Amino acid sequence: MNKAFGNSTLLRAEDPVEDLELWYQKPAEKWLEALPVGNGKLGGMVFGGPVQERISISEDTLWTGGPYQPAVEVAPETLASIRKLSFEGKFAEAQELVKQLQGKPHRQAAYQTVGEVQLNFSDITETSDYRRSLNLQNGVAGVQFTANGTFYKHKTFASYPDHVIVTRITAGKPIHLTITCTSLHPDKKLTIAGNNTLIMDGKNGDLVVEGDGTIPAALTWQCRVLVQIRGGVQTAVDNGIQVIGADEVLILTTAATSYVRYNDVSGKPDQLCAAVIKKCIAKSYDILFEAHLKDYQPLFNKVKLKLTNLAPSNLPTTERIKNFATGNDPSLAALYFQYGRYLLLTSSRPGSQPANLQGRWNDSLSASWGGKYTVNINTEMNYWPAQKTNLASCELPLLELVKDLAITGQITAQKTYHARGWVCHHNTDLWRSTAPIDSAFFGQWPTGGAWLCNHLYQHYLYSGDTAYLQELYPLMKGSARFFFDTLVQEPKHGWYVTSPSMSPENGRAKGVSNSPGPTMDMQILRELFTHCATAAAVLKKDADFQKACNDMVFKLAPDQIGKGGQLQEWLDDVDMESDKYEHRHMSPLYGLFPGYEITSDRTALFAAAHKLTEMRGFFGEGMGWALAWRLNLWARLQDAGNCWKLVNSLISTKTEQNLFDKPHIQLDGNFGGTSGITEMLLQSHAGAVHLLPALPEKWSEGALSGLCAQGGFEITGLEWKNSRITTLKIRSTLGGNLRLQVPNEIAVPALSPIKPAGGVNPNPLFAPIKMPEALIAPGSPIQKLELKKTWMYDLSTQKGQVYEIKFV
């Protein structure tokens, strides 16, 4: 027996477990119906065609252009004029000057596809019993059908340890097919090495920006495909490898570019691909699959979720989506939740680029919106599920991106603002551009880098990992330094504010976004300065910087509540003057989610955030990610009814057949949806582990395990019935107090040494955060809300153990 095939004893691991499978009764007719596999660096979209199987290939570093630095020199007098005009209320005039800050070029690079591997079967005509599937438990895209009385089976997975996409074809009779590669890149070249290897080489595209010239293509790339057979004959033919009479066919695909780093394109993709194939050629399918499972399953299987006592639907996924709005299929919501985890696990792994707007999958020479890293919401949303759904390691590529931005952002800080530290505006790309781009209306938002720092700080809040904090701290400090140098005092109150700036992608008047000190900026910076001060204290360094950060928190413009009872978006109360206030962005609500300064115990602010969320509407005709953001906000507002409406809308109206977010290929909608469902079941941002804070009636019975909470807690077992918790098992990895909020009236410790802690021995990650009080406009309605009771348990003496808490 050819050792590339083995004895196939691992098929049992590909049987569906619970409701963790997408499946269909026909092949994909278009790319958005294909099923994704990935290992972080490589992405594959499997179409499942019985006559022609197509696997669309993407590689994480194939983008247009080459190393470039778009920051422009701006005179200090220009910045001073922008600020003066803005404070005089001459926002349009100031925005004209803002155009001088735009980078050159004013557009960024675009993510590009590699191409396709195509398998053409010469003897298949009519088929029956067709089934196409994606099993989330093992990451295998499968196809099976009967053709001419013979049963065929295809399996495809992407291996992280071996850096290949593996496809195996089996059948009940000898297999005849031809394997080839194709690409949209105009200069691609396909060659055949021996009778078993396809090699497709090419160059990336230029970054062409009308009016700003061209950043020439600087990358070379290669896609290499190895074909192995058991039995039969394989030969090289024009543009492919022909297989005749094989018992089984094994196809290994890899790809690479010459990208090494944002300023280094000296890599050798041919050598990289050859080394991967050489390493894999001697391994059997069983060995490749076993290594994949050993890597993949411990990560994916960390979290279990069941939202009903009903059996999972036996309908195809397309029918389940169609019926979701009117049916009773809670397990589809659980599948959608796990699919978001799957997409993160398969598009972002240590050593890869971070997940971009399309995750890792792309069939175009210019992905939607360029496939960039849009850091005024979309990139952060990609990673909202990482910590709380137990995929912390998947977030490490984002840390590496911020390390690069802290270098390139220094140039933008110096040239454009004459400031220390570093800055990143609302977009970046493979080449780590940090200058404002797109236009003066959309691009002049200097707080993207600060948001990224705040996001990464969550890793410390969940893990207590001081080594990680030591690595992150210089990035946070560099971002804070930039704002120490660029914040200015507005004349009316003397508050420190950002200027020039804007509330992301929203205009305070028609065609005008420029506005100093928008609420979102102030909320992000209060967190940044607080995190810097806390980190400095934990690391026992920079006492003077620590004090300066603590002081600045109270010098920034505070949250303000407007005359309509809403949380204001801008310094002045103009929210209610807009005739189209509904907007896809929910920027001023950053402090509610993903931030933590607006919590239910701050009743006036909480009510104002509720009012603003209501005013913004559901944005039902808009983008899926906009609904996903709203889902997380309504979860923080503990409104189960509106959360259910948004889950319903996301799945039934904003989901493609393959569960990708729509109408555009922006997978932040999937990641945001997974985060929102998590927030409905578990929150920990307000100093307590709050269980089932926004549980809808349709999920009145369920169970979960593996979700994580800030303070080093992991829910190892949670069951509920009639919307009340019946079982809770929780692990504390750091010790200290467990502060617990539950829907039950009384919590009773089941095991000693758990006992009510009475507030002693606090968990340091749950220390109270001091924030300035909101300013409330005269006559503004203030809603008083009932506070939830918090139960406390001292877990300090038995760190690392699992505790059970029973409820009566």
Percent of the chain's residues with pLDDT above 90: 79
Asked if 722 and 701 count as a contact pair (C-beta separation under 8 A), the reply is yes
In a domain, residue 145? The reply is yes
Q: Is the pLDDT of residue 16 over 50?
A: no
315, burial (CB in 10 Å: exposed 0-12, middle 13-18, buried 19+):
middle
Burial of 7 (0-12, 13-18, 19+ CB in 10 A): exposed
- What is the tens place of the pLDDT at every residue in 153-163? 999 999 999 99
Domain membership of residue 346 (yes or no) is no
Residue range 72-86, pLDDT digits in tens: 999 999 999 999 999
pLDDT at 808 (0 to 100): 66
Domain CATH code at residue 167: 2.70.98.50
Give the pLDDT confidence of 709-745 residue by residue, as tens digits. 999 999 999 999 999 999 999 998 888 778 888 887 6
- Output DSSP code: residue 206: P
> Beta 21-24 vs 233-237: how paired, if at all?
unpaired
The predicted-structure confidence for 512-535, as pLDDT tens digits, reads as follows: 999 999 999 999 999 999 999 999
Which pLDDT band, with edges at 50, 70 and 90, does 627 fall under? very high
Contact predicate 74/412, CB 8 Å: no
Half-sphere exposure of 44 (CA within 13 A, CB side): 33
Measured at the CA of 318, the angle between CA 313 and CA 319, to 5 degrees, comes to 50
Collapsing DSSP to helix, strand or coil, 677 comes out as helix
Strand partners for 207 = 215
Query: What average pLDDT does range 48-66 have in this prediction?
Result: 97
Nearest to 591 by CA among 620, 612, 575: 612
DSSP tag of 570: S
**For residue 374, what pLDDT is reported?**
96
The pLDDT of 247-268, averaged and rounded, is 98
What's the rounded Cα separation, in Å, for the pair 678 and 694?
Answer: 10
The pLDDT-based confidence of 451 (bands split at 50, 70, 90) is very high
Q: What is the pLDDT of residue 40?
A: 98
Adjacent-strand bridge partners of 704: 305, 718
Which tokens go with 235? 């030969």
- Cα separation, 531 vs 550, in Å, equals 9
What's the first-to-final CA gap in the chain, in angstroms? 62
Residue 82, Cα to own-chain centre: how many angstroms? Answer: 35
For residue 249, is it within any domain?
yes
Q: How far apart are CA 372 and CA 107, in angstroms?
A: 11
The answer to whether the Cα torsion of 449, 451, 456, 457 is positive or negative is positive
Helix (H, G, I), strand (E, B) or coil at 15: coil
- Residue ranges of the alpha helices (H) in 88-170? 91-98
Question: In 348-501, which residue ranges form alpha helices assigned H by DSSP?
Answer: 378-382, 384-388, 396-417, 440-443, 448-463, 466-486
Q: What whole-number distance in Å separates Cα of residue 707 and Cα of residue 705?
A: 6
pLDDT at 631 over 80: yes
Task: Locate all alpha helices (DSSP H) within 487-602, ordered by sequence.
Answer: 519-539, 543-553
| Number of domains within the chain | 1
> Whats the size of the chain, residue-wise?
808
Which of 623, 528, 638 lies closest to 585 in space, CA to CA? Answer: 623
Considering only 57-61, 73-77, 246-250, 563-567, which range has the smallest mean pLDDT?
563-567
User: Could you give the angle at the alpha carbon of 626 between the alpha carbons of 621 and 628, nearest 5°?
Assistant: 115
Sign, CA torsion 203/204/207/208 = positive
pLDDT of residue 460: 95
Residue 112 gets which letter from DSSP?
A: -
Q: What is the pLDDT of residue 791?
A: 65
Residue 397 is assigned to a structural domain of this protein: no
Q: Which residue in 229, 226, 257 sits closest to 243, CA to CA? A: 229
> Using 50, 70 and 90 to split pLDDT, how confident is the model at 762?
very low
Q: Give bridge partners of residue 539 from the DSSP assignment.
A: none
Instruction: Report pLDDT for 342.
Output: 98
Tell me, what's the pLDDT at 17?
A: 40
Q: What is the pLDDT of residue 583?
A: 81
Neighbouring C-alpha atoms within 13 Å toward the C-beta of 177? 31
In whole angstroms, give the CA distance from residue 573 to residue 578. Answer: 11
Chain centre to alpha carbon of residue 495: 34
Among residues 16, 57, 318, which one has the least CA distance to residue 140?
16
How far is residue 255's CA from residue 225's CA, in Å, rounded to a whole number?
9
Three-state DSSP class for residue 488? strand
Q: What is the pLDDT of residues 113-124, one digit of tens each?
A: 999 999 999 888
Q: Could you tell me which residue, 148 or 779, shows the higher pLDDT?
A: 148
Residue-level pLDDT at 7: 37
Burial class (CB in 10 A: 0-12, 13-18, 19+), 13: middle
Listed in sequence order, the residues at least 6 apart from 664 whose beta carbon sits closer than 8 Å to its beta carbon are 368, 369, 623
Tokens, residue 576:
């209610």
Q: Give the confidence band of 783 by pLDDT, cuts at 50, 70, 90.
A: very low
Q: Would 151 be classed as within a structural domain?
A: yes
For residues 467 and 438, the answer to whether their CB atoms sit within 8 Å is no
Q: Given a cut of 60, is residue 545 above it in pLDDT?
A: yes
pLDDT of 768 strictly over 60: no
Tell me the residue range of the domain where 123 lies. Answer: 9-63+110-292
In this predicted structure, which of 61-70, 178-187, 609-618 has the lowest mean pLDDT? 609-618
- Residue 678 to residue 391: CA distance in whole angstroms: 13
Phi-psi category of 13—alpha, beta or left, where left has phi over 0 and alpha has psi -120 to 50? alpha
Closest CA relative to residue 215, chosen from 204, 200, 201: 204
What DSSP line would sit under 381-397, residue for residue?
A: HHTHHHHHTT-GGGGHH
Query: How far apart are alpha carbons 483 and 497 in whole angstroms?
Result: 9
> Residue written as tokens 């297999």?
175
Nearest to 4 by CA among 198, 289, 282, 195: 282
Residue with tokens 């980078």: 103
- Tell me the average pLDDT across 249-253: 98
Residue 14 — very low, low, confident or very high, per pLDDT cuts 50/70/90?
very low
Query: Using an 8 Å Cβ cutoff, are 195 and 229 in contact?
Result: no
The burial of 268, by beta-carbon neighbours within 10 Å (0-12 exposed, 13-18 middle, 19 or more buried), is given as middle
Q: What is the pTM of this model?
A: 0.94
Distance of CA 39 to the CA centre of its chain: 15
pLDDT in tens, 394-408: 999 999 999 999 999
pLDDT surpasses 50 at 579: no
Q: Which amino acid type is present at position 663?
A: P
* 3-state SS, residue 154: strand
Tokens for 277, please give them.
């194939």
Q: For residue 787, give the amino acid letter.
A: L
State phi, psi for 775 to the nearest 5 degrees: -95, 130
Give the DSSP letter of residue 34: S
What is the spatial distance between Cα 442 and Cα 439, in angstroms, rounded to a whole number?
5
- In this structure, of 104-108, 124-128, 563-567, 762-766, the range with the lowest mean pLDDT score is 762-766
